[in-house]
Amino acid sequence: MALDLPAIQRTLRESGLDGWLLYDFHGSNPIATRLTGVDRGAHLTTRRWYYLIPREGEPRALVHAIERHNLDMLPGRKIVYSRREQLEAGLTELLTGVRRIAMEYSPECAIPYVSRVDAGTAEAIKARGVEIVSSGDLVQAFEAVWTPEQLQSHRVASEALYRIKDKAFAAAAAAVRAGAPLTEYELQQQMVGWFAAEGLISDSAPVVAVGPHAGDPHYLPTKESATVIGPDELLLLDLWGKLAQTGAVFADITWVGFTGRDVPSRMANAFDAAARARDAAVDLVQAAAKEGRDLRGWEVDRAARAVLVASGFEAQVLHRTGHSLGESVHGNGAHLDDFETHDERRLLPGTGFTVEPGVYMADFGVRTEINVFRGDREALVTGPCQSAIVPLLS
């Protein structure tokens, strides 16, 4: 993506920052390489490079002599180094006049998704009297905010996922009624075919999990590990995908069915708690959007998890409430997390994310996952919400 320098510099001024320093070595900072457009497939990038976007004026770069052309697509003057002494002097020159900059850094690695700058590089910057703050919200603003076309691509992908989910539940129900063995893996592979028919791509085949396997949030069936989907069992489907086109963003949903007529109360109660936790999170996001107030990722996670704790499921929570959605299924925006991390990034207008609380036990697990897009003054759930476990043989 092309850097929007005027927008970045405006955001830097609004944030009280002197600049944004993008840095990479051997692909260690994919955020910097995406933002700058450095194509590691087209260029050898085996040396350190720095690109400083100041709040005012022309950007400047520090590049190695044998890779001096790698940032030619970007505006600004270059400082070229070869020897380490030249690198040290060049870094000092690069940082002249700045005192507070953003980098892909997170204090104590609180948000590891952003923490891409190594400790030694951070030490070298700080030794020159420069304060480093996290670029987390900057990254969001220029990598996680969707265009109208991306929102539309998400909606199309979401509708396709719901159709695939319905087909999968119908196939499982038909197999159980007919007494025809159908394994988790076989159903998963049918779904892979439906993905292709819908024009969707993904980084993984979907989750198809029965009984105890549903108690593992990241279970993926293999031909060897898969069990047969039998009668009166809980069946969890988690599927994510996007359109096979440049710039498309993901949709990601989870639904739970029961291969019988009457859902056991123990399962129903666990799902009810997860659904109420989901709704508490959505209510909070929608209220904040309507009021135009900032909301942090950790706040939403805390609101959802409070419902699960009050319902007696504190020990059965294994993961955060949700994650950012983008061109990767786990995007570079704020996650709904005060469990695995303390995500202080704001839920920016124009960003999308999942809400997916779950409850996991030794013999089953439940999760309900929806997608939310936060606009300027509203937050939209982009697909149907599951209200209860679906009895597939009713």
Q: Could you tell me the pLDDT band of residue 3, with boundaries at 50, 70 and 90?
A: confident
The reported pLDDT for the residue numbered 45 is 84
Cβ contact 297:337 at 8 Å: yes
* Shared-domain flag, residues 211 and 312: yes
* Shared-domain flag, residues 168 and 317: yes
- Any idea what DSSP says for residue 14? H
The tens digit of pLDDT for each residue in 113-165 reads 899 999 999 999 999 999 999 999 999 999 899 999 999 999 999 999 999 99
Beta bridge partners of 22: 51
* Shared-domain flag, residues 284 and 350: yes
The reported pLDDT for the residue numbered 2 is 62
Q: Cα(133)–Cα(99) distance, rounded to whole angstroms? A: 11
Mean pLDDT of 101-121: 94
CATH value at residue 52: 3.40.350.10
Q: Cα(359)–Cα(364) distance, rounded to whole angstroms? A: 9
* Shared-domain flag, residues 208 and 343: yes
Q: What percentage of the chain reaches a pLDDT higher than 90?
A: 94
Residue where a domain terminates, one of 143, 176, 191 = 143
Q: Could you tell me the pLDDT band of residue 1, with boundaries at 50, 70 and 90?
A: very low
For the chain, the domain total comes to 2
CATH value at residue 256: 3.90.230.10
The tens digit of pLDDT for each residue in 366-375 reads 999 999 999 9
Beta bridge partners of 340: none
Per-position DSSP letters for 18-84, written without gaps between them: SEEEEEESTTS-HHHHHHHT--TTTS---S-EEEEEESSS--EEEEEGGGTTTTTTS-SEEEEE-SH
User: Which residue carries 């953003």 as its tokens?
Assistant: 102
Reading phi first (left if > 0) and then psi (alpha if -120 to 50, else beta), residue 35 is in alpha
Contact residues for 127 (Cβ-Cβ < 8 A; gap 6+): none
* Shared-domain flag, residues 362 and 340: yes
The reported pLDDT for the residue numbered 37 is 86
Pairing mode, strands 131-134 and 49-54: unpaired
Residue where a domain terminates, one of 116, 143, 170 = 143
The tens digit of pLDDT for each residue in 36-81 reads 988 766 567 899 999 999 999 999 999 999 999 989 999 999 999 9
Cβ contact 100:18 at 8 Å: yes
The reported pLDDT for the residue numbered 44 is 73
Q: Cα(225)–Cα(212) distance, rounded to whole angstroms? A: 12
- Please tell me the least confidently modeled range out of 73-77, 268-272, 304-308, 370-374: 73-77
The tens digit of pLDDT for each residue in 151-184 reads 999 999 999 999 999 999 999 999 999 999 999 9
Cβ contact 133:102 at 8 Å: yes
* Shared-domain flag, residues 125 and 139: yes
394, pLDDT greater than 90: no
Contact residues for 258 (Cβ-Cβ < 8 A; gap 6+): 232, 233, 234, 235, 264, 267, 389, 390, 391, 392
Put simply, whether the predicted model's pTM sits higher than 0.75 gets the answer yes
* Shared-domain flag, residues 155 and 78: no
The tens digit of pLDDT for each residue in 312-367 reads 999 999 999 999 999 999 999 999 999 999 999 999 999 999 999 999 999 999 99
* Shared-domain flag, residues 135 and 151: no
The reported pLDDT for the residue numbered 43 is 64
Cβ contact 71:78 at 8 Å: yes
Mean pLDDT of 224-229: 96
The boundaries of the domain holding residue 191 are 146-391
* Shared-domain flag, residues 254 and 357: yes
Q: Cα(139)–Cα(32) distance, rounded to whole angstroms? A: 9
Q: Which two tokens stand for residue 295?
A: 């909301």
Q: Which two tokens stand for residue 365?
A: 């697990």
Instruction: Calculate the average pLDDT of the chain.
Output: 96
* Shared-domain flag, residues 288 and 384: yes
Per-position DSSP letters for 242-298, written without gaps between them: EESSTT---EEEEEEEESSSS--HHHHHHHHHHHHHHHHHHHHHHHHHHHT---BHH
* Shared-domain flag, residues 150 and 38: no
Residue where a domain terminates, one of 112, 143, 174 = 143
Q: What percentage of the chain reaches a pLDDT higher than 70?
A: 98
Contact residues for 100 (Cβ-Cβ < 8 A; gap 6+): 16, 17, 18, 130, 131, 133
* Shared-domain flag, residues 244 and 384: yes
